[in-house]
Amino acid sequence: MSAQRPNIIFIVADDLGFADLGCYGGRDADFGPVSPVLDGLAASGLRFTQGYSNSPVCSPTRFALMTARYQYRLRGAAEEPISIRSRSSNTLGLPPDHPTLPSLLRDAGYHTALIGKWHLGYPPHFGPMRSGYNEFFGPMSGGVDYFTHAATNGSHDLFEGETEAPTTGYLTDLLSSRAVSVIERQAKAARENQPFFISLHYTAPHWPWETRDDEALADQVRINLFHLNGGNIQTYRRMIYQMDEGIGWMVDALERHDLLDNTLIVFTSDNGGERFSDNWPLVGGKMDLTEGGIRVPWIVHWPAVVASGRTSGQLCMTMDWSTTMLELGGATADPQYPLDGVSLASILQDASLSFDRPLYWRMNHRNQRACRFSGWKYLRVDDCDYLFNLDQDERERANQAAVQPERLANMVQSWETWNATMPPIPPDATVSPGYSVRDMPQR
């Protein structure tokens, strides 16, 4: 392990599919490779093949990322997801007194910055500056136009701290450029062992379906950012490519300042892919506890520690990475808020290692539940129970429930035992998928 604490950059894409990137089997677009920078980071680092998000929808995963705990412990995370309708709520958000990944790293001496999407409640009750970040630039809500930076209700939603920051430009590029700016400003201190932590939370490739060249669309989608009558695979892939370009700008900045070697870069998505995503060979997508909704890319690059060209089949989920970053940053968890995440630091040093890691999920939407033990997964959707051997059947098509009743019963009991340790889903929790079978056929 590096003797000097690493700079940490935690990059989160929004609604990216498991196979959208070339390094996860994604096909080239008509313009060429979709993700050359991320593919390069994976080739010179470590790629996880069995990594998951804490939820198949946005804000619940972000609660887990921020707290390194199961999101179900907090009321705001019961919203699937938090809606802009809750803007005045003093309960639907990340409580400022709860320890977080950035607050604990800040207390350990890191400069902390959130560049990009927050989606964990609104000021004056909640906000990134109240939960451990020294600086924030980005939207507060779950989805904004890439050019007007307006949220789904039409209100302007691009902030510097807690002050509106009217800015001209394509949002993906604005976020990438701001991340570069943080690196430039913090480079000298980082070389003197005063490291930085950057949360780079893109809104790409989330709707509306706008590339850098589509500013004319902004007026058309103004009344419905879900953009249900627009988009296509080509536009979607270009949005990923332009995010990937921005990550390249950041990598170049690290190299210019001789910081790349001891900077831990972790890339993932907040949940599985949406309507134009490629999740092959998985089934389902955003809002689903089938594999396509929760299995996501996890790419790690840290030349000082992580060997080049490795892959790992270690089971992990979002909160494990937050726990890992706390350990590597020398931060101490608050004993009143014990972490549910498990550190993966040993895997970063030796990708051949592995350990048992049971994983649990639940969703109000369609009464879903799931748990994974090793290669086996128990799943409930619409009150139907399934059992899958994912080592042989990643598409979850060959239900083993009838032929392995004892294994199913054991996994059901394990899920019930775990669930009893979590608060129940509140009766007033809302589910807001944004569209239905009236808009497009169900997956």
The per-residue pLDDT for 438 is 87
Domain final residue pick, 359, 380, 400: 359
Mean per-residue pLDDT for 26-30? 97
- Is 32 within the bounds of a domain? yes
Active-site annotation holder among 111, 119, 206, 227: 119
- Is 425 within the bounds of a domain? no
Domain final residue pick, 359, 391, 410: 359
The per-residue pLDDT for 223 is 86
What tens digit of pLDDT does each residue of 331-385 get? 999 999 999 999 999 999 999 999 999 999 999 999 999 999 999 999 999 999 9
- Is 443 within the bounds of a domain? no
What tens digit of pLDDT does each residue of 301-329 get? 999 999 999 999 999 999 999 999 999 99
Dihedral Cα 304, 310, 311, 315, nearest 10 deg: -30
Judge if 322 and 400 occupy the same domain. Answer: no
Mean per-residue pLDDT for 64-74? 98
Predicted TM-score (pTM) of the model is 0.98
Domain final residue pick, 359, 387, 402: 359
Judge if 409 and 274 occupy the same domain. Answer: no
The per-residue pLDDT for 201 is 98
Cβ proximity of 359 and 390 under 8 Å: no
Give the rounded percent of residues in the chain with a pLDDT score beyond 70.
99
Give the rounded percent of residues in the chain with a pLDDT score beyond 90.
95
Instruction: Tell me whether residue 149 is one of the annotated catalytic residues.
Output: no
Active-site annotation holder among 58, 206, 301, 371: 58
Count Cβ atoms below 10 Å from residue 275 Cβ, excluding itself: 19
Judge if 402 and 296 occupy the same domain. Answer: no
Judge if 138 and 277 occupy the same domain. Answer: yes
- Is 330 within the bounds of a domain? yes
The per-residue pLDDT for 150 is 96
Mean per-residue pLDDT for 228-253? 97
- Is 68 within the bounds of a domain? yes
Instruction: Tell me whether residue 119 is one of the annotated catalytic residues.
Output: yes
Judge if 241 and 349 occupy the same domain. Answer: yes
CATH code for the domain in which residue 74 is found: 3.40.720.10
The per-residue pLDDT for 1 is 65
Judge if 34 and 149 occupy the same domain. Answer: yes
Judge if 238 and 382 occupy the same domain. Answer: no
The per-residue pLDDT for 283 is 97
The per-residue pLDDT for 437 is 86
- Is 440 within the bounds of a domain? no
- Is 139 within the bounds of a domain? yes
- What CA–CA distance (Å, rounded) separates 378 from 199? 33
Judge if 318 and 380 occupy the same domain. Answer: no
The per-residue pLDDT for 3 is 67
Query: Taking Cα atoms as reference points, which of 1, 399, 10 lies closest to residue 197?
Result: 10
CATH code for the domain in which residue 378 is found: 3.30.1120.10
The per-residue pLDDT for 41 is 98
Judge if 166 and 196 occupy the same domain. Answer: yes
What tens digit of pLDDT does each residue of 140-196 get? 999 999 999 999 999 999 999 999 999 999 999 999 999 999 999 999 999 999 999
- Extract the tokens encoding 392: 């042989």
| Residue-number span of the structural domain to which 32 is assigned | 7-359
Judge if 164 and 242 occupy the same domain. Answer: yes
The per-residue pLDDT for 435 is 81
DSSP string, 84-108: GGGTT-SSSS--TTS--HHHHHHHT
- What CA–CA distance (Å, rounded) separates 314 from 71? 21
Looking at residue 411, the DSSP 8-state letter turns out to be H
Cβ proximity of 12 and 296 under 8 Å: no
Total domains present in the chain: 2
- Is 131 within the bounds of a domain? yes
Judge if 105 and 217 occupy the same domain. Answer: yes
When the pLDDT of each residue in the chain is averaged and rounded to a whole number, the result is: 97
Judge if 152 and 236 occupy the same domain. Answer: yes
Query: Taking Cα atoms as reference points, which of 327, 415, 333 lies closest to residue 370?
Result: 415
